[in-house]
Amino acid sequence: MVYKLDQRITPLSRIFLVLIFFILYAPIFFLVFYSFNSGGTMYNFKSFTLDWYRELFQDSRLLIIVLNTLVIALVSSLFATIIGTLGALGIHSIRKRQTKNTLLSLNNVLIVSPDVIIGASFLILFTMAGIKLGMYSVLLSHIAFSIPIVVLMVLPKLSEMSPTLIDAARDLGASQWNVLTKVVLPFITPGIFAGFFMALTYSLDDFAVTFFVTGNGFTTLSVEIYSLARRGISLNVNALSALLFLFTLVLVVVYYFISQRNRPGRWGVKK
Amino acid sequence: MNNKVTRNLYLFPYALWIVLFVVAPLLLVLYYSFFDIEGHFSLVNYKTFFTPVYLKMTLSSFWYAFLITVISLIIAYPTAYLLTKTIHKQLWLLLIIVPSWINLLLKAYAFLGIFGTKGIANSFLEAVGIGAKQILFTDFSFVFVSVYIFIPFMILPIFNALNELNPTLLDAANDLGASKWITFRRVIFPLTIDGVKAGCQVVFIPALSLFMLTRLIAGNRVITLGTAIEQQFLVTQDWGMGSTIAVFLILIMFLIISLTGNRKRGV
Amino acid sequence: MSSLLRFFLGIILVSAVFFYTLSELNSSQGYSGKNTLTIYNWGDYIDTDLIKRFEKETGIKVIYETFDSNEAMLTKIEQGGTTYDIAVPSEYMIDKMRKEHLLIPLDHSKLPNLKNIDPRFMDLPFDENNKYSVPYFWGTVGIVYNPKMLNGKKINSWNDLWDPDLRNKILLVDGAREIMGMGLNSLGYSLNDTNHAHLQEAKRKLDTLTPNIKAIVGDEIRLLLQNEEASIGIVWSGVASEIMSENEDLEYVVPVEGSNLWFDNMVIPKTAKNKEAALKFMNFMLDPKVAAQNAEYVNYSTPNKKALAYMPKETVNDERFYPSPKLTEKLEVYENLGKKNLAYYNELFLEFKMHRK
C-alpha cells in the first residue's frame, strides 16, 4: 500500500507542494521569529532575547487562559464530531430530496451567519434559559457552531459509500449495529477525522462568539488576544503562539507515527 | 421499519441541536429584522436593503467570495491530488491544517509585516528587479489572505474524495488508452465531485460574510455584507438592520444549497 | 472503528488532564473563593503589579476580564448573566449607560482620594457631579505624522490633510465619530452636529480626501504607523504617545480647528456583586502614587493632578499629551447623540468607505 514517492511525484509537483507549505507556514515563522526580538515589536529585529518566554512562564493567568482554550477546543470538537456524525448519518438516510435539502440548509445557517450574530443570539438564548455565563456556556456554543462543519465533512463520504455494500453486509446477516460499526463507520472514518480537525480549527479561531457568551472570569486565548489589540499585542503572545505551535507539531507527528506503528501503512483507515 | 427507528435515534441529538441553536436564533434574527432602530415594528430595514448602497455591497461580496472560492479550488485540487501521492499522506494532510490553529489576528498581523512597504514580500520583489509595490490594502492582498485562510477547508474534503479513488479504475482508464487529461475529466473529477462541492460550500458561504480581513488586510477598501452586519451590531447598535442583512445572507445561502443540490449518483 | 475509538479516548484523557490542572490552578490562585472583584477593562489597560498590590493589601481576589469595544461591553452588561464589579467605558458610553439605568451611583464618602483628580476633569456633562464615574485616563484625537517622511512638512490643521502632495499617505482610524468629526471640524462645525445638511457636506468633503487615504484601519494602526507604513495617521492621543515612545521621529498635533476630548472612566455596573470592593479598588486607583505608576505603565494621560508630581517632568510638561486648560478649551467631548443620529453618522461613514478613488 505504501507508494514510492519518486515514482509518483515529478520534481515540478514537488516544488509546487513545497511552495504551498512554505506559504502556509510563512506567517507562523514570521511570528516565531519576532518572538525572539528584544525590540518589543513585530518589525525591526534588534537583538536575540528569550525574555518573552521567561515572562510567559511567570504569567499564571495566561497559563489558565491557554488551558481553558485547549479544554474547550478538544471537548467541544469531540461532542460536535459525535453529534455531527450522527446527524450526517440521519440526513443520509433520508430519501426525500426536499427534506434533505431543507435539513442541509438549516445545517449551514451557522456557517453563513457572521460570528457577531451567532454570538449575540446565543447570548440572548443563554440569558433567557438562565444558563450562567462561563465555561459551560462557551462549551455549548462551541459545540453548536462546530456541528455543521462536521456534517459537511462526513456527508460526502457517506454518499460515496455504495448502497450495495450495506446490502451485502445485511444479506450476510449483520445486525444494524454491526453494519454501523463494522461497515459504515470504518468507511467514513476519514470524514469524521476531517470533521474533528475542522471543528478544532473553528473552536481555536473563534473570537466573537466566545466573547459574547463568556463571563464570570472565564476567558479564552483569542478573546484575550483581541482585547490586547487596542494597546498593541505584546511579544509574549508571539512567544506563546510559538510554543503552542511547536507543541502541536510534535503532538501531531508523534501521534501519526504511533498510529502508524499500530497499523502499518495507514492512518486509521481500512482497506 | 427498524431502519426508521435507528434513523430517528441518530437524528435525535442532531435535531435537538437544530431546534435550539439554529431554528431559535434564526427566528430571533427574523424577529429583530422587523424592528427599526427605535424599536418600532416596521419594514424600513427591508426597504433600506434595496438601496444602491446595500445592493452594491451584496454584489461585491458575491464577487469576492466567488474569486476566493475559484482560486482556492484551483490551488487546493492539485495540492490534494499530490498529497494523496506522498508516502505519509495523512501526516502531510494534518500539517496542512496545523497553521489554521494559530490565532487569526496574529496571522493577520504577520501578513501586515510580510506585505508591508518594507516587508519581506517587497524586499523579494526588489531583489527580483520588479521593484517595491503597494501590496497591503489592495484586492490582491485581500484575496490572497482569504484564500490562505480557507484553503485547508477546501483541501480536506477533496483529499478525502481523491483518497478513496480506486486505483484499478485509473489503471483501467489507462489500459483503455485514455490520455491523462481524459482520465482526469472523465474519471477522476466526476468521482470526486462531492468532495469539490463540499469544499466550495465551506469556502463560498463563509467568504460572503468575511469581515475582519476587510479591515485588517484590505483597509476597508473592500466592504462585504459581513462588514456591514458587524458595524450594525457593534457600532451603530442597530440590531434590526444587522438582522435584516443577515436574513438576506441566509436566504442567499438557502438558494446556493438548493442550486448545488444533492443529485445522488445511483440513488 | 477501533482507531476512531482509541483516538477519541486519547482526546478525553488529554482533556481530563488539562481540566484537572486547570481546577488546581484556579483554586491555588484563589479564584474560586467568595471575596472576589471582577474588573471589566480594555486589554493591557492597567499595570498588573498594581492589581497584585491591591490583592495583597485588601485580601480581595481580582478577576480581570477584557473587552475590545465599548459597544461589545455594553451588550454584555445589558444582557446580564455575568458579574462585573467595575467597568471602564468611554464618556459617551457612560452617558448612555447612565440613561439606561445600567450604573450604580457612587458613594463619594468611600472615595476620599477623589479630591486628587484635577477639577477640570470632574463634573462633566456626560456625568454631572461624577455621580456614576471616576476618571481613569483621558486624551484627545489628533494627527500623528512623520516629518522625516514628509520632507520636514508641518501639519497643524485638519485642512492640511487635503494637500495633494499627501497622496496615499494617510491612515484613518475606523471610527464613524472620529472621521465624520474630522470632516465636521474641518468645515468649522461642531463634532456633535446633528444637522443632516452639515453632515452630508462633511461626507462630501471627506470623499474628496480619498486619494490621500491609504487605508481605514482599526487598532492595527499602531503597528502600521510604528512600522512607517504610512506617514500620517488620525489617532487617539494614547495611541500616539505609545507609538512615539517606540519611534521618536513621529510628531503629534491636535488640529487648530478643534478636535475631540475623550475620557475613560471607572463605573460600577448594575450587575455588580461586590460594591464595597469596587469602591475600595476605585479609591486605590485614585491614590497619587498608584495613578502615577499606572500612567507610566499604560502611557496614557492621567487625570490625577497629585500623581503628576510623581511622574517624570518631561512627560508631565509635554503639551502634546498634557495640554493646558487653555488648549483643551476648544476641544469638544462627544455627546451621546442618540441612536438615530448615531445611525446617520454610521450610514454616511459606510458610504464614505465605499467611495472608491
pLDDT at C32: 64
pLDDT in tens, B145-159: 999 999 999 999 999
Q: Are residues B89 and B139 in the same domain?
A: yes
Same domain, C175 and C254: yes
- Predicted confidence at residue A115, as pLDDT, reads 82
Q: Are residues B166 and B250 in the same domain?
A: yes
Least confident of A95-104, B252-261, C186-195: B252-261
Distances (CA, A) of C82 to A224, C62, C269: 17, 15, 11
Domain ranges of chain A: 11-37+47-261
Range of the domain at C309: 10-137+264-322
Q: C283 and C352 share a domain? A: no
Q: Which of A1-15, C42-56, C185-199 has the lowest mean pLDDT?
A: A1-15
User: B231 at the A interface (CB within 8 A)?
Assistant: no
Suggest the residue from A61, A230, A244, A252 to mutate for an interface test with chain C (most C CBs closer than 10 A): A230
- Contacting residues of A for C81, CB less than 8 Å apart: 123, 126-127, 131-133, 137, 215
Residue B247 is placed in which grid cell? 436574513
* CB nearest A74 (choices: C15, C29, C38): C15
Considering the domain architecture, whether residues C178 and C232 belong to the same structural domain is answered as: yes
**Distance between CA atoms of residues A201 and B98, nearest Å:** 8
| Nearest in space to A120 (alpha carbons), one of C93, B25, B37, C339 | B25
Distance in angstroms (rounded) separating the CA atoms of residues C252 and C243: 10
pLDDT tens per residue, range C299-354: 899 999 999 999 999 999 999 999 999 888 889 999 889 889 999 999 999 999 99
Residue B40 located in a structural domain: no
Rounded to an integer, the average pLDDT of C209-217 is 94
Look at A42 and B109 and tell me if their CB atoms are within 8 Å. yes
Partner-chain contact C246 A40, CB within 8 Å: yes
CB contact under 8 A, C340 and B53: no
Q: What is the mean pLDDT of chain C?
A: 92
For A91-126, how does the pLDDT look when each residue is reduced to its tens digit (9 = 90+)? 888 888 888 888 888 888 888 787 888 888 898 888
Q: Are residues B155 and B197 in the same domain?
A: yes
CATH of the domain at C104: 3.40.190.10
Inter-axis angle of helices A221-228 and A235-262, nearest 10:
150
> How far does chain A reach from its first CA to its final CA, in angstroms?
9
Which residue in chain B is spatially nearest to A156 when comparing CA positions? B194
Q: Which of A85-94, A153-162, A259-268, C153-162 has the highest mean pLDDT?
A: C153-162
- Residues C205, C309: one domain? no
Interface contact A75, partner C, CB < 8 A: yes
Q: Which residues pair with C87 in a beta bridge?
A: C40, C267
Residues of A in contact with B267 (CB under 8 A): 95, 163
Collect all residues of chain B within an 8 Å Cβ-Cβ radius of residue A111. 201-202, 205-206, 253
Cβ–Cβ under 8 Å, residues C276 and C85: no
Grid cell listed for C143: 494627527
What lies within 8 Å, CB to CB, of B150 at 6+ separation is B68, B72, B202, B203, B206, B207
| Contact in structure between C266 and C177 (CB atoms under 8 Å) | no
What is the number of structural domains in chain B?
Answer: 2
Range of the domain at B169: 45-260
- DSSP, res A183: I
Which of C43, C72, C246 has its CB closest to that of A228? Answer: C43
Question: Could you tell me if residue A4 is left (phi over 0), alpha (psi between -120 and 50 degrees) or otherwise beta?
Answer: beta
Q: What are phi and psi of C329, to 5 degrees?
A: -55, -45
pLDDT at residue A161 tops 90 = no
Report the residue count for chain C: 357
| pTM for the structure as a whole | 0.89
- Within 10 angstroms of residue A12's Cβ, the number of other Cβ atoms is 7
Pairing of strands C133-145, C86-87: unpaired
Quote the pLDDT of residue B262: 54
Chain A: give the shortest CA distance to residue C50, in Å. Answer: 15
More confident residue, C238 or B180: C238
Arithmetic mean of pLDDT over chain B: 88
The cell numbers describing B239, all together, are 440590531
Give the amino acid at B233.
Answer: F
pLDDT at B263 over 60: no
- Residue C30 has a pLDDT of 67
Annotated binding site of C: 92
pLDDT band at C245 (very low <50, low <70, confident <90, very high): confident
Nearest CA-CA partner of B187 in B177, B199, B198: B177
Is residue C2 included in any domain, yes or no? no
Among C350, C351, C356, C357, most B C-beta atoms within 10 A, so best to mutate, is C350
Exposed, middle or buried by CB within 10 Å (0-12, 13-18, 19+), for B184?
Answer: middle
Chains in contact with chain B (at least 3 beta-carbon pairs closer than 8 A): A, C
Do B120 and B200 lie in a common domain? yes
Matching residue, cell 484499478: B168
User: Is pLDDT at A253 greater than 70 in this prediction?
Assistant: yes
C163 and C304 inside one domain: no
Vertex C103 angle, CA C99 and C108, to 5°:
115
User: Is residue C143 predicted with pLDDT exceeding 50?
Assistant: yes
What value does the mean pLDDT take over residues C75-104? 91
Report the chain A residue with the minimal C-alpha distance to residue C68.
Answer: A227
Cα–Cα dist A128/A135, whole Å: 17
| A6 — pLDDT class (breaks 50, 70, 90) | very low
**Cell numbers that stand for C170 in this block:** 494617510
User: Is the Cβ–Cβ distance between C79 and B237 less than 8 Å?
Assistant: no
In the block, residue with C-alpha cell 443529485: B263
Q: Which residue of B has its CA nearest to A141?
A: B21
Measured in angstroms, the CA of C115 and the nearest CA of chain A are apart by: 29
Among all chains, which residue has been given the C-alpha cell 474533528? A196
Q: What is the pLDDT of residue A1?
A: 37
User: Over the stretch B56-113, which tens digit does the pLDDT of each residue have?
Assistant: 999 999 999 999 999 999 999 999 999 998 888 889 999 999 999 898 888 998 999 9
Task: Residue window 80-99, chain B: list those with CB within 8 Å of chain A.
Answer: 82-83, 85-88, 90-91, 94-99
* Mean pLDDT for the stretch of residues A164-175: 80
**Of A12-16, A181-185, B166-170, B256-260, where does the model show the most confidence?**
A12-16
| pLDDT bracket for residue B9 (50, 70, 90) | confident
Helices (H) and strands (E) in chain C, counts: 13, 10
What pLDDT does B72 receive? 97
Return the amino acid letter for C160. D
Across B82-220, where does the E strand assignment appear? none
What radius of gyration, in Å, describes the C-alpha atoms of chain B? 22
- pLDDT exceeds cutoff 70 at A5: no
Distance from CA of B38 to the nearest CA of C (A): 7
Cross-chain residue pair A123–C67, CB shorter than 8 Å: no
Spell out the residues 6+ positions from residue B108 whose beta carbon is closer than 8 angstroms to its own.
B145, B212, B213, B216, B217, C220
- Residue A268, pLDDT > 70, answer no
| Binding-face residues of A in 133-192 toward C, CB within 8 A | 133-134, 137, 181-182, 185-186, 189, 192
What is the C-alpha separation between A133 and A213, in angstroms, rounded? 6
d(CA B187, CA A194): 24
B8 with B62, same domain?
Answer: no
pLDDT for A265 beyond 50: no
Tell me: do C124 and C79 sit in the same domain. yes
Write out residues 180-209 of B within 8 Å (CB-CB) of A.
194-195, 197-198, 201-202, 205-206, 208-209
To test the contact with chain B by mutation, choose from A116, A146, A167 the residue with the greatest count of B C-beta atoms within 10 A, namely A116
Q: How far is A16 from chain C (nearest CA, A)?
A: 32
C229 vs B: CB within 8 A: yes
How many angstroms separate the CA of residue C210 from the nearest CA in chain B?
11
Q: In the A/B pair of chains, how many CB contacts fall below 8 A? A: 288
Pair A1, A271: CB distance under 8 Å: yes
* A-chain residue closest to C11, CA distance: A74
Cell of A157: 463520504
B120: its cell numbers: 519581506
Kindly state the average pLDDT of the residues B151-173: 87
Q: Which residues of A touch C3 (CB under 8 A)?
A: 189, 259, 262-263, 268-269
> Which cell is C320 given?
502634546
Query: CB–CB of B53 and C354 under 8 A?
Result: yes
Question: Which of A117, A226, A258 is the best substitution to test chain B (most B C-beta atoms within 10 A)?
Answer: A117
Superfamily of A11-37+47-261 according to CATH: MetI-like (1.10.3720.10)
C274 within a domain of the structure (yes/no): yes
Cβ of C65 within 8 Å of Cβ of A217? The answer is yes
Measure the N-to-C terminal CA separation of chain C; round to a whole number of Å. Answer: 58
Confidence of residue C196 (pLDDT cuts 50, 70, 90): very high
Residue C186's pLDDT band (boundaries 50, 70, 90)? very high
- What is the pLDDT confidence band of residue B261, given thresholds at 50, 70 and 90? low
Q: Could you tell me if B124 and B171 lie in one domain?
A: yes
As a whole number of angstroms, the distance between CA A75 and CA C265 comes to 39
Q: Measured between alpha carbons, how far is C25 from C19 in angstroms, rounded to an integer?
A: 10
B13 and B51 in a single domain? The answer is no
How many angstroms away from the CA of A181 is the closest CA of chain C?
A: 6
Q: What's the pLDDT tens digit per position in C48-72?
A: 999 999 999 999 999 888 888 888 8
Q: Name the binding residues of C for spermidine.
A: 92
Q: Tell me the mean pLDDT in the region C78-99.
A: 91
Do B90 and B8 lie in a common domain?
no
Q: Do B238 and C228 touch (CB under 8 A)?
A: no
CB B57 within 8 Å of CB B228: yes
Task: Please check whether residues B119 and B9 belong to one and the same domain.
Answer: no
Strand partners, C171: C215, C233
Question: Is residue C268 a part of any domain in this protein?
Answer: yes
Give the pairing of strands C36-42 and C86-87. parallel
| Nearest beta carbon to residue C68 from set A63, A81, A226 | A226
Closest CA to C186 of C171, C205, C169, C204: C205
Chosen for mutation from C63, C82, C296 (greatest number of chain A CBs closer than 10 Å) is: C82
Long-range contacts formed by C252-255: CB under 8 A, 24+ apart: C252/C142, C252/C143, C252/C144, C252/C320, C252/C321, C253/C142, C253/C143, C253/C145, C253/C155, C253/C156, C253/C320, C254/C140, C254/C141, C254/C142, C254/C320, C254/C323, C254/C327, C254/C331, C255/C142, C255/C143, C255/C156, C255/C157, C255/C158, C255/C185
Whether B24 and A125 lie within 8 Å, measured CB to CB: yes
CA distance C288 to C265: 16
Q: Is residue C29 part of a domain?
A: yes
- Are A42 and B114 an interchain contact pair (Cβ–Cβ within 8 Å)? no
Nearest to A200 by CA among A265, A134, A251, A263: A251
Picking from A120, A193, A227, the nearest residue to C67 by CB comes out as A227
- The pLDDT-based confidence of A4 (bands split at 50, 70, 90) is very low
CATH number of the domain to which B49 belongs = 1.10.3720.10
Beta-carbon-side half-sphere exposure of residue C317 (alpha carbons within 13 Å): 3
Q: Give the one of C171, C218, C229 whose C-beta lies nearest to B116's C-beta.
A: C229
Averaged pLDDT of chain A? 85
Q: Say what the pLDDT of residue B267 is.
A: 29
- If one compares A40 and C243, the residue with the highest pLDDT of the two is C243
Is residue B19 domain-shared with residue B55, that is, in the same domain?
A: no
**B52-83 vs B89-97: helix axis angle to the nearest 10?**
150
Please, which contacts does A54-62 make with residues 24 or more away whose CB atoms are closer than 8 Å? A55/A236, A55/A239, A56/A236, A56/A239, A56/A240, A56/A243, A59/A236, A60/C25, A60/C29, A61/C29, A61/C64, A62/A224, A62/A236, A62/A240
Note whether A75 contacts C76, CB cutoff 8 Å. Answer: no
Chain C residue with CA closest to B213: the answer is C217
Best A44, A95, A109, A180 residue to mutate vs chain B (most B CBs within 10 Å): A109
Separation of alpha carbons A202 and B206, rounded Å: 12
On chain A, the residues whose CB falls within 8 A of the CB of C67 are: 211, 227
Cell of A192: 469524521
**Are C118 and C143 members of one domain?**
no
CB contact under 8 A, C217 and B113: no
Q: Is C31's pLDDT higher than 70? A: no
Number of domains in chain C: 2
Contacts of A231 in chain B (CB under 8 A): none
Chain C partners of A254 at a C-beta cutoff of 8 Å?
none
